[in-house]
Amino acid sequence: MSDFSVEELTIARYQQALRGGAVSTRELVLVYLERIAAIDKSGPCINAVLELNPDALFLADYMDQQLRRGNLLGPLHGVPILLKDNISTGDRTHTTAGALAFRDHYAVEDSHVVKKLRQAGALILGKANLIELANFVSTTMRRGYSSLGGLTKNPYKLSGYPSGSSTGSAVAAAANLTLATLGTDTTGSILYPSSYNCVVGVKPSRGLVSRGGVCPISLTLDTVGPITRTVEDAARILSVIEGYDPGDPSTLLRKDEPGHDYAAALDKNALRGARVGLNMGYYAELSPAEQKLADRAVEALKEAGAVLVEGCDFPMMNYNADVAVYEFKACLNDYLGHLSPANPVRTLEDLIAWNHAHADQALKYGQDRLEQCQYRTSGALTDPEYIRALLENERVTNTGILRVMEEQRLDALFCPKLTDLPAFSGLPAVNVPAGLADGVPMGITLIGHRFGEERLLALAYAYEQTACARVLPTYEP
Catalytic residue list: 84, 165, 189
| Spatial contact of 214 and 86, defined as CB atoms under 8 Å apart | yes
Helix (H) or strand (E) holding 441: strand 440-447
Burial, 7: exposed, middle or buried (Cβ in 10 Å; 0-12, 13-18, 19+)? exposed
In sequence order, which residues have a C-beta less than 8 Å from that of residue 113 and are 6 or more positions away? Answer: 87, 182, 209, 210, 212, 213, 214, 224, 241
| Spatial contact of 210 and 245, defined as CB atoms under 8 Å apart | yes
Burial, 74: exposed, middle or buried (Cβ in 10 Å; 0-12, 13-18, 19+)? middle
Cα 390 to chain centroid distance, Å, stands at 24
Provide the Cα torsion 276, 282, 283, 285; round to 10°: -160
In sequence order, which residues have a C-beta less than 8 Å from that of residue 175 and are 6 or more positions away? Answer: 35, 39, 40, 46, 48, 155, 473
| Spatial contact of 206 and 83, defined as CB atoms under 8 Å apart | no
